[in-house]
Amino acid sequence: MVGVFAVSAALRYLRPSPILGPSPVEESWLALALVAVAVLVVVAGWSASMEPAPVTLGLAIVTFGWLAPAWATLPAIPVRVQAVLLALTPVMIAGLNWLLILGTNDDRGTRRGARAVWILTACAVAIPVLGYNPFEDPACVATCTDIRPALAQTLTTRQSIMLSTAFVLAAAIGAGLQLRRRHPARLAGMYAAALVAAASASVVRLAAWSSDWRTDVEAAFTALAVSLGAGAVLAAALATRRTRRDVEELVAELSASEHVPTMKAGAHSVLFSVPDEDRWIDLSGAEASNPTAVRSGQAIDGGAIWLSLPRRGPTNGSATFAELNPATRLVLRNAHLTALGRARLAEVHASRLRILLASDLERKRIERDLHDGAQQRLVSASIHLRLALGHADPAAEDSVSQADRCVQAGLDQLRSLTHGVYPSALTDEGLAAALEDLVASINMPTSLDIQLGREHEINTSLTVYALVADYLTAAARSSVKDTVTVRIDDREGRLTVTFGSGLDLTGQLTDSADRVAAHGGTMATRHQQGQVVLTAVIPCGS
């Protein structure tokens, strides 16, 4: 399109008689170029019709500044109106600035900058209206009418054009400063080129005041400016639709999946903020890094939801997500609540596990203190009693022997207490050896089947040991007559403990059930061939 105008200007410059107008071929190509620009504007306007109304308004202002001088050639237009239409080209700068500030933060700096651009543009339009006489313009052909402007005694036509050009350049620079507020680089580049093209039209008008090729080059720059502005609007509109389609695909996944969905659609990830806390979580409720610092994306719903999109086009600001339908927003908010629920549940599990571990550590400390303190004192007392028994009178032997037996009984009870919950075999020889010792110490027919591929961390092993110990103790108290079966399998990152007996002993295993739940495990009871089978599943990692 620009090439068509450039060739036309070169031919006009080389033509022997400058009075001659463009050839029919030139007129055809120029008309085709103008039609192409008009079609681009119409397509951009149609694409932007689904955007907020200000987008279409900004594009309309740019287009109006481009078409106004052409309307001045209509014979039915009054002379004064013709002069105004010829001076309206600088409003293209105002229209581009309007598009630039859409979707940016409506802060004081933005408002002040936009106001300055509009004032400069108004001055660039007002001065030619008051001081421009088309009759004195060497390039004027269709509108050469002497209208005697209001400032004719003060300014010449060329001086008014000089002042207007200065204001246009200042307005273009002011609008260019708004580019810093636009994040998409492609849009910023297109708008920057459009501003340069619009300002260049005024510079060419002034610099080539009496040149025959001025009109073509000036028209080329204005057509280029409106093309770039319309192209930027079209690109933003298409990218916005594509982004919303990605969001809709994500919402479809969130709606269809009962579990945490895998991100196969357009969205890379969706993160949620935790209310009243400076942290983010993902769909599973797991902790996530701050997306505003390390990821590209867009915050919606008041900053509570962050969407990171892979095909992020030249969209800008929250306007991309402003028109999401209520159903989409409802699904995203439900996903937010679900993720928060998962996060809170994980925190409860972690808290229960910390309490359990703290309890085990406290038992271990008490065991160590009893072993190093009270147990050693009882052992020392027993030794002294036995020494005293060797030198005691016959009348006192029974009393000393009775005292020694009491000390031995107390010592046995103390040893049973210190080793009952946290047996040394568990840490020294492993879970299988500790369970075999446990079964051997209980006077009850028990079938023990252990299938362990490896040793597990002590907390998991202690949970299994405590569960088996509680179950066998409950079975002994309940006088179970059948052989108790205990089977332990280690597969797929889980320890599965299965108990079989003739009675349902689940109600007597409250403490063990809490231990299993604290590790994220489950317990369930079922009836199978006249037996009550209790199954506990405990996650143990890979």
Are the CB atoms for 198 and 223 separated by under 8 Å? no
User: DSSP letters along 140-157, please?
Assistant: -STT------TTTTT--H
Region of residue 316 (left: phi > 0; alpha: psi -120 to 50; beta: else): beta
Residues 257-285: b if buried by 16+ CB within 10 A, e if exposed? eeebbebebbbbbbbbbbeeeeebbbbeb
**pLDDT value of residue 38:** 64
- The Cα 117–Cα 172 span in angstroms is 8
Q: Which of 29, 64, 110 is nearest to 230 (CA)?
A: 64
Q: For residue range 369-389, what is the model confidence (pLDDT) as tens digits? A: 776 777 777 778 878 777 777
**Region 161-189 average pLDDT:** 81
- The Cα 229–Cα 237 span in angstroms is 12
CATH number of the 423-539 domain: 3.30.565.10
E strand or H helix that includes residue 461: helix 458-477
- The Cα 12–Cα 6 span in angstroms is 10
Point out the least confidently predicted range of 100-104, 449-453, 530-534: 100-104
Report which listed range, 211-215, 217-221, 258-262, 421-425, is most confident. 217-221
- The Cα 85–Cα 71 span in angstroms is 7
pLDDT band at 41 (very low <50, low <70, confident <90, very high): low
pLDDT band at 410 (very low <50, low <70, confident <90, very high): confident
Residue with tokens 């010792």: 437
User: DSSP letters along 468-523, please?
Assistant: HHHHHHHHHHTT--SPEEEEEEEETTEEEEEEEESS--GGG-HHHHHHHHHTT-EE
**pLDDT value of residue 266:** 44
Order the strands of the 484-491 sheet from edge to edge: 446-451, 484-491, 494-501, 531-539, 522-528
SS3 534: strand
SS3 65: helix
State phi, psi for 447 to the nearest 5 degrees.
-105, 120
Residues 6 or more apart from 188 whose CB is under 8 A from it? 179, 182
Point out the least confidently predicted range of 46-50, 323-327, 534-538: 46-50
Structure tokens that stand for 424 in this block = 């040394």
**pLDDT value of residue 183:** 54
Q: For residue range 501-538, what is the model confidence (pLDDT) as tens digits? A: 877 788 888 888 888 888 888 888 888 777 788 888 88
Q: For residue range 61-94, what is the model confidence (pLDDT) as tens digits? A: 888 787 778 777 777 777 778 778 888 888 888 8
E strand or H helix that includes residue 460: helix 458-477
E strand or H helix that includes residue 191: helix 185-207
How far apart, in Å, are the Cα atoms of 466 and each of 91, 421, 462, 471, 520?
A: 82, 7, 6, 9, 16
Neighbours of 383 (CB within 10 A): 12
User: DSSP letters along 396-440, please?
Assistant: HHHHHHHHHHHHHHHHHHHHHHHHHSS-HHHHHT-HHHHHHHHHH
Helices 185-207 and 91-101 pack at an angle, to 10 degrees, of 170
How far apart, in Å, are the Cα atoms of 5 and each of 14, 28, 69, 165?
A: 14, 12, 17, 22
pLDDT band at 17 (very low <50, low <70, confident <90, very high): very low
CA 312, 318, 319, 321 torsion-angle sign: positive
Is the pLDDT reported for residue 397 higher than 70? yes
CA 25, 31, 37, 43 torsion-angle sign: negative
Q: Domains of the chain: which residue ranges?
A: 2-239, 257-347, 423-539
Rounded mean pLDDT of the chain? Answer: 75
Is the pLDDT reported for residue 174 higher than 80? yes
**pLDDT value of residue 3:** 47
Structure tokens that stand for 302 in this block = 């008041």
E strand or H helix that includes residue 447: strand 446-451
Report which listed range, 28-37, 98-107, 474-483, 487-496, is most confident. 487-496
DSSP code of residue 453: S
Are the CB atoms for 438 and 476 separated by under 8 Å? no
Q: For residue range 120-152, what is the model confidence (pLDDT) as tens digits? A: 999 988 888 888 777 777 777 655 666 777 777
The residues facing 539 across adjacent strands are 494
Point out the least confidently predicted range of 43-57, 194-208, 431-445: 43-57
